[in-house]
Structure 1
Amino acid sequence: MLRIMLLLIIGILLSGCMFPQDQRSGGDVPYEDQRKTVEDAVHQYREATGVLPIETRDQDTPDFRKYPINFRELSPYLSQLPTNAFENGGVFQYVILNPEEQMDVRLLDIRTSRELQDVQRQIHQYRSDHQFAPVKDIVHEGILKLDHEALSFDEEITVQSPFYPDHRLPVYMETDGSMVIDYRIDLLKVIDENGMGGYAEGDDIRWLLTDHHPVVPDYSLPMTVEDGEIVFKKTD
């Protein structure tokens, strides 16, 4: 069923060494060796200090942004910053997932935020002019489809997937004005390629993306499988 749906929808080397010369300008590539070297350094830091080298964030910060790495703290365990890190002019923020267990390091693509900021500016301007939001339809409880024509966009509002460059992902809005990216196309593809990996109906399957890719699904909401279809997970 998921394979059929997919066909329908889809139309550092750091430790004691310098980065290879051919990677030094790759600020927009999620190099696996850089990610792994930072992850190893995080484990060493935790073992030595008992804490994580992270920036402080509010408790209600979304999971995929909640534990950004503080490279100032981590620097004694790295020979240099990753070439693709935001702090070094790259486009990725390094974050920690599962901080109490595996302490996996993944990358958050900040270009997505920049794209969505443009959309939000258009929404704010529209609301200022019309006193209501440019909503076209209801996608799910609390999730709204935007009227792209009212916002002066030629096409439905999408952003490029950080997982599959040939995918464009729909952008929605929550009732509180927050932006939401719909990763269902990406999830269908990762399931088609790798299976469910032990996840079951009712589980938040966004983690499948981070299980098989070095980046995270920013601006996402919990998603699950119901009756063979990927859906936004019902709120409690």
Structure 2
Amino acid sequence: MRIWKLSSSLFLVMMLLTGCLYPEEELAENQTPYKEQVQAVQAAINQFQEANEGVLPIKTTEGDTPLYQKYLIDFKRLVPQYLSEPPGNSYENGGVFQYVIINPETDVQVKIFDLRIAEKIREIKLLIKAYGNPPFKEKIAQNVYSLNFDKLGYKEEPTVTSPYTNQSLSFVVTESGEIYVDYRNDLLQALQEKDHSFKPGDDIRSILVEDSMFVPAYSLPYTIDESSKEPIFLMN
């Protein structure tokens, strides 16, 4: 009975996610991260901030919103005075990218993240709900586990493509059932290739953002292990 329920749930989830959320998803321009569009939004943000005594055009979010999804750009406040329209690849204009601001109080920068990650997370959470509870596989860190995706009806483990390395990134789950992307492989590569001064206890995710249009959305914080110098989850 549970297998039938999970199979039916997976079918319904896939039908919903592929058919409804992005009716224009087949348009390549809506799925391509253009540097020029990010730069255009950055220029508009700078002009808006200068004209409004440092105020930023951002949407109101909950206080516990994750760091890299917190400062969503409110294009209604930019269009048409500072931009003719939202970028074609933005969620507001039928695209798959959400535009955000980082460092709002110091060095304001415009970045993006891929909302298709949110779709995949929503799919996994719906299947967990149908299953009844998260089917934990292995404990990775305090309150962080891998998932037994076989029990959720997957033939292959779901992944997302890293915007930094193009490698496949897996998902992890907390005890409360929250799903996150695991960026440890990306972080390890960045730590090996870039100069840094991180210490144990520092959140090291900023190393991914430095030279990229993307933020590590839907991620838990990470730090550097004192002995191995490799990335580990930064948990309280």
Which bracket does the TM-score occupy, shorter chain normalised?
A: 0.7 to 0.9
Partner of 2:34: 31
Percent sequence identity over aligned pairs: 38
Match of 1:48 among 32, 51, 54: 51
CA 1:152–1:56 in structure 2 vs 1: closer, same or farther (change >3 Å)?
same
Partner of 2:234: 233
5+ residue gaps, structure 2: 1-26
Contact 2:198–2:224 under 8 Å retained in 1? no
- The answer to whether residue 194 in structure 2 is matched with residue 191 in structure 1 is no
Shift in Å, 1:40? 1.6
Q: TM-score, normalised by structure 1?
A: 0.82
Match of 2:74 among 70, 77, 81: 70
Provide the rounded CA distance (Å) in 1 between the counterparts of 2:42 and 2:202.
26
CA 1:133–1:44 in structure 2 vs 1: closer, same or farther (change >3 Å)?
same
Provide the rounded CA distance (Å) in 2 between the counterparts of 1:207 and 1:70.
23
Partner of 2:104: 99
- The answer to whether residue 199 in structure 2 is matched with residue 200 in structure 1 is yes
Provide the rounded CA distance (Å) in 2 between the counterparts of 1:27 and 1:189.
29
Shift in Å, 1:56? 0.6
Provide the rounded CA distance (Å) in 2 between the counterparts of 1:194 and 1:54.
31
Partner of 2:135: 134
Provide the rounded CA distance (Å) in 2 between the counterparts of 1:193 and 1:186.
11
1:58-114 CA distances to partner (integer Å, 9 max, x unpaired)? 111111111100101011111332121111111101000011111111001101001
Partner of 2:223: 224
Contact 1:25–1:83 under 8 Å retained in 2? no
Moved more, 29-38 or 89-98: 29-38
5+ residue gaps, structure 1: 1-23
Contact 2:146–2:173 under 8 Å retained in 1? yes
Q: Aligned runs of 1:106-121 on 2, under 5 Å?
A: 106-121=111-126
Shift in Å, 1:212? 1.6
Shift in Å, 1:25? 4.9
Shift in Å, 1:52? 0.8
Code of the aligned partner of 1:153: Y
Shift in Å, 1:168? 1.1
Partner of 1:169: 169
Provide the rounded CA distance (Å) in 1 between the counterparts of 2:145 and 2:184.
16
Poorly superposed stretches of 4+, deviation over 4 Å: none
Provide the rounded CA distance (Å) in 1 between the counterparts of 2:116 and 2:149.
21
Alignment: residue pair count: 206
Q: Aligned runs of 1:7-22 on 2, under 5 Å?
A: none
Q: TM-score, normalised by structure 2?
A: 0.82
CA 1:192–1:124 in structure 2 vs 1: closer, same or farther (change >3 Å)?
same
Code of the aligned partner of 1:79: S
